[in-house]
A = this chain, B = another copy of it.
């Protein structure tokens, strides 16, 4: 596995190359005209993306055992489906299909991405003595002790779903192992966890009025929490679907920009989305589409349409 091709390096390389600066207030070196989205043959509508989500949820519901001990499984079920939807699992499935794989091949990785991210969301919302209430309040039907441990159980469960899909006889063990490594890196201490840490810093500094620097947040929070996660999801889909190295890396770059668009539009500054100009977001979308240049034009819209479909629940 090539460390040099990890998401954050993709980010450094590609963003620096195009000279994009994370400041919507200043003219950017890249200021493309807004791309009008026109329905094309082979595109996916919002309802088709919803259908992918429904498939992933059905897979998860089947996978989560409902046997005893309910003391553990009820909160796991709750926290798995209470987390706000991410586009990353659906992108994983779509990337797999784009390189010629089947939906089934990507489903365990999509489910793992969903459940591991849901565990991270649960831990983000844990009340801690040294973490003031800096996020919108969420319902806590279970106590902190149960939510902590449930999250702790969900992460290995996600990896179990993926590792268990490896079939030595089917010859996919190597691909599954590679996808596991991808996900461990994207969600670990140099990935999502690091973004979460920076997000607390950012939210605290905004509460205290000491800093409100969206450029910093984009680079340290959204690039980790959304960019790298979506890059990983798309790369995993391509790996599991049997894509070439070129396809895997193209989809990884695409996924990074999809994640940045998500971070900037869905979360971009905790209710201050307006701070990101449409032009900056459209620049991101343009870069995303550019990353898909090497793919069959007739099929590419099935993946590219995620940029314009609101599929968060």
> Are the C-beta atoms of A196 and B149 separated by less than 8 Å?
yes
Q: Is A69 an interface residue (CB 8 A)?
A: yes
Q: Is A24 an interface residue (CB 8 A)?
A: no
Write out the residue numbers on chain B whose beta carbons fall within 8 Å of the beta carbon of A152. 119-120, 123, 151, 155, 193, 196
Answer whether A156 and B177 are a contact pair too, CB < 8 Å, given A126-B148, A128-B148, A145-B131: no
- Copies per complex of this chain: 2
Of A180-188, A233-241, A274-282, A294-302, the stretch lying at the interface with chain B is A180-188
> Are the C-beta atoms of A189 and B123 separated by less than 8 Å?
no
Answer whether A193 and B130 are a contact pair too, CB < 8 Å, given A152-B120, A180-B159: no
> Are the C-beta atoms of B143 and A160 separated by less than 8 Å?
no
> Chain A 2-13, CB within 8 Å of chain B: the 1/0 string?
000000000000
**Chain A, 132-158, CB within 8 A of any chain B CB:** 143-146, 148-157
Q: Which chain B residue has the least Cβ–Cβ distance from A188?
A: B156
Q: Is A129 an interface residue (CB 8 A)?
A: yes
Instruction: List 24 A–B pairs whose Cβ atoms lie within 8 Å, in order of A's numbering.
Output: A1-B164, A119-B152, A123-B149, A123-B152, A126-B148, A145-B197, A149-B189, A150-B189, A151-B152, A153-B189, A153-B193, A155-B156, A156-B183, A157-B184, A157-B189, A159-B159, A159-B184, A163-B181, A163-B184, A166-B173, A173-B173, A173-B174, A173-B177, A177-B177
